[in-house]
Structure 1
Amino acid sequence: MKTYKTPISALVLIHTPDLQVLIMERADKAGFWQSVTGSLENDETPWQAAVREVREETGLDAAQYELQDWQVSNVYEIYPHWRHRYAPGVTENREHLFALALPAALPVTLAPGEHVRYEWVDWREAAKRVFSWTNIDALKRLGERHGLKM
C-alpha cells in the first residue's frame, strides 16, 4: 500500500539577528530555492515537524536556539508535479509558519537528495529567490517583525 504525504506542513525561516536567512536549492527542481519545509509525519504536531525538518534538512538542533511558532498558517495549491505524493484528489496544503533565530550564519549539513546547496542571504534577497508565495509571505513577516518593509 502506498503511503501518501500529509497535506499539512511546517515552514521554518532560519535567520540571524541581522536577518540573514538560510535558503536551500531543491535537488528535484533546479533553481527552486526555499526555506526548511516539510510535511507532518504520523501523529506529529506542526512544532514537532518543524524541529524534525530543521534537523533533517540542516543538521541543526532547533532546541539549541530560539524556535518561534508564529501562530500563522497559509493554504496553498500543491504544484501539479508534486501532487503524486499526496492521496488522490488532494490539491491543497496547510503550511504552519515558524522561525528559528540563530546567533550567526552557521554551516549546515544538507540532506542528501533533498537539497544541493545552500546560501545565507539578506531576507529581501531571499524573498526574490524563493519560489513559493508562502515563503515570500513568511519573509515579509520576518521583516515586519523587525520593523522593516520589503
Structure 2
Amino acid sequence: MLNKKKSASCHGLTIIEALLTLAIISILSGIALVYINSDSFRLNSEARNLRSALSQARMLAVKTNQSATVKIWTGKYEDSSGVVVDLQAQGLTLAFSGGGSLPDGGYTLRFSPSGTTPNSHYHLSNQSGETISIRMNSVGRIWLERN
C-alpha cells in the first residue's frame, strides 16, 4: 500500500496574524489623528487656504478683466466670492509683516485686471508660536514661507 502524503498548504490568516495587523493599523491611525488635530496642521491648512483664496482672486481679476479683492482682518478674511473664514475660532491670528495688527476695518487687498497687486507680507500664527508668512510680489506671485 502506498502512503500518500497530504499537502500541507495553508490558506488564510491565523488569528494571531489578524490581531497583529489590527494592532498596527490602530497605532498608525492614532498617530495620524494626533497630527490632524494639532495646531501645526491647522496652521498649515489655513495658510494654504488663504494662499488659494488670494490666487483665486488674482485669476478672477485676469479672467473678468476687472479688479478683484480679498478683505483681511486680524482674525478673519473674506475671499473674492464673499465667503468669510474665521481664523480666531481655530486659534490663529493674521498680522502685517511689521508685526502690527490689521486696522479695525480690515485691509482690502486689490488685484488689478492684469493680476498685479502691491507687494504684501502677512504672518499667520497659531497659539503655539509657529508662524507662516504669506508673501505676494508686485506681479501677483503668492508663496508661503515657514518662519
TM-score (norm 2): 0.28
Larger relative contact order, structure 1 or 2 (CA cutoff 8 Å, min sep 6): 1
More helix by share: 2
TM-score (norm 1): 0.28
More strand by share: 1
